């Protein structure tokens, strides 16, 4: 490792001013800070905190927290395929378990590759044009996108959506740290409104095995409605709370298994990367709103009568609360503001589900709406604190 480090630093001199590849300095810097902890410190006068964990390593922790959801999602895609094709009639054997995981991996990985190639390609290009460092935020965004889009969305549509989101929801605002809206959710929103036929509610599409040379020709267009879609169309939900918590049900790749999501949440909270206050507030807001609809909502509205605790494990509620509502750039930053911000996300998500049967999910719209109000929430919290301190000063 020491020899590689010495070689890498010597090679890096080619990217310094006057070197052969000086025009590509942003590319080298991106890989350098990704592979090694920067050995530079702030040069301005004043106090600074010196810490070995920079923002790239913070983003890597989020990626690690997302891995359980990704792996389970891959397995579930393959599992739904085997279930649809009748291969699970005799039960899930060890061989079929690996077959499901392999099938799901081949289906999901292309989306991961497309998201990173397109998104990072744009960010590298913009950084080089502006002679700036490559931002690290897309490490997480590119990982989340494949987990929140239907598995049969054409790859070219995903590429266009990622490009749109990175350019118009991030770079035009100034890049990482300046964007108002969550970039991954803007990608999903673009697909939802630009290509509605590929984003029919929150259904899961099981890819044709023949596409990958795996069980070729077994199934071509199998789709299966999620619990929220069933209710929106007037059908009774068949899955129990434990069915949805365990995750072997139709849904977006990374959003079905509660245990995988909570495992990631535990890591984010333990490392201080994400706010437990925001997460808890989302669940409290959603649970309380759903409970009130259970008590006072119309009996003819199946979603209003859907048990409050079921809302918390349905669709993308838990995934959104843990991985997207807590985005440090687009969420509230004051401690009190985190409670308000999270509570309103849960409230709005359930309101959309109950009052808008045409869009049964609700979590995407709730987070994007509250992204817009997060600065106002923080401003109000700060002003209240200033006023309270001023009153205390007057009394003294």
Domain ranges for the chain: 55-383
Burial of 391 (0-12, 13-18, 19+ CB in 10 A): exposed
- Position 54 pLDDT exceeds 80: no
- Percent of the chain whose pLDDT exceeds 70: 74
Q: Which residues pair with 205 in a beta bridge?
A: 223
> Who wins on pLDDT, 326 or 228?
326
Angle formed by the axes of helices 276-296 and 258-270, nearest 10° = 140
Q: Among all chains, which residue has been given the structure tokens 């009153």?
A: 391
111-115, 136-140, 233-237: segment of lowest average pLDDT = 233-237
Q: What is the mean pLDDT of the chain?
A: 82
Whole-prediction pTM value? Answer: 0.84
| Sign, Cα dihedral of 138, 66, 245, 214 | positive
In three-state secondary structure terms, 79 is: helix
In three-state secondary structure terms, 256 is: coil
Residue 139: per-residue pLDDT: 87
Work out the average pLDDT over 255-270: 95
Confidence of residue 391 (pLDDT cuts 50, 70, 90): confident
Residue 220: per-residue pLDDT: 42
Number of Cα atoms under 13 Å in the Cβ half of residue 47? 0
User: Cα 165 vs. chain centroid, distance in angstroms?
Assistant: 14
- Position 180 pLDDT exceeds 50: yes
């Amino acid at each position: 490792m020491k020899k590689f480090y010495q070689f890498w630093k010597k090679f890096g001199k080619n990217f310094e001013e006057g070197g052969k590849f000086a025009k590509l300095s942003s590319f080298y810097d991106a890989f350098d800070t990704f592979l090694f902890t920067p050995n530079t410190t702030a040069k301005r006068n004043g106090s600074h905190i010196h810490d070995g964990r920079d923002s790239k390593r913070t983003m890597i922790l989020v990626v690690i927290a997302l891995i359980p959801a990704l792996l389970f999602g891959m397995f579930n895609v393959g599992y739904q395929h085997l279930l649809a094709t009748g291969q699970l009639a005799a039960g899930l054997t060890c061989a079929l378990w690996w077959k499901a995981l392999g099938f799901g991996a081949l289906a999901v990985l292309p989306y991961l590759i497309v998201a990173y190639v397109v998104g990072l390609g744009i960010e590298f290009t913009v950084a080089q044009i502006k002679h700036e460092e490559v931002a690290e935020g897309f490490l997480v965004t590119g990982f989340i996108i494949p987990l929140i889009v239907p598995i049969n969305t054409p790859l070219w549509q995903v590429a266009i959506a990622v490009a749109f989101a990175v350019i118009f929801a991030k770079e035009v605002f100034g890049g990482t740290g300046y964007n108002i809206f969550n970039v991954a959710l803007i990608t999903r929103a673009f697909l939802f409104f630009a290509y509605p036929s590929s984003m029919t509610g929150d259904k899961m599409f099981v890819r044709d095995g023949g596409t990958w040379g795996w069980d070729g020709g077994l199934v071509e267009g199998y789709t299966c409605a999620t619990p929220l879609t069933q209710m929106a169309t007037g059908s009774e939900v068949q899955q129990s709370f434990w069915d949805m918590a365990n995750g072997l049900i139709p849904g977006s790749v990374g959003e079905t298994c509660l245990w995988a999501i909570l495992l990631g949440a535990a890591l984010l909270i333990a490392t201080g990367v994400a706010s437990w206050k925001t997460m808890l507030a989302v669940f409290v807001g959603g649970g309380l709103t759903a409970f009130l609809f259970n008590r006072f909502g119309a009996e003819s509205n199946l979603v209003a009568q859907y048990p409050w605790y079921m809302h918390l494990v349905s669709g993308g509620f838990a995934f959104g609360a843990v991985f997207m509502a807590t985005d440090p750039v687009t969420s509230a930053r004051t401690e009190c503001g985190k409670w308000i911000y999270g509570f309103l996300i849960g409230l709005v998500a359930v309101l959309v589900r109950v009052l808008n049967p045409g869009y049964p999910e609700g979590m995407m719209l709730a987070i994007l709406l509250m992204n817009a109000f997060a600065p106002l929430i923080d401003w109000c919290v700060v002003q209240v604190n200033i006023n309270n301190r001023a009153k205390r000063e007057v009394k003294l």
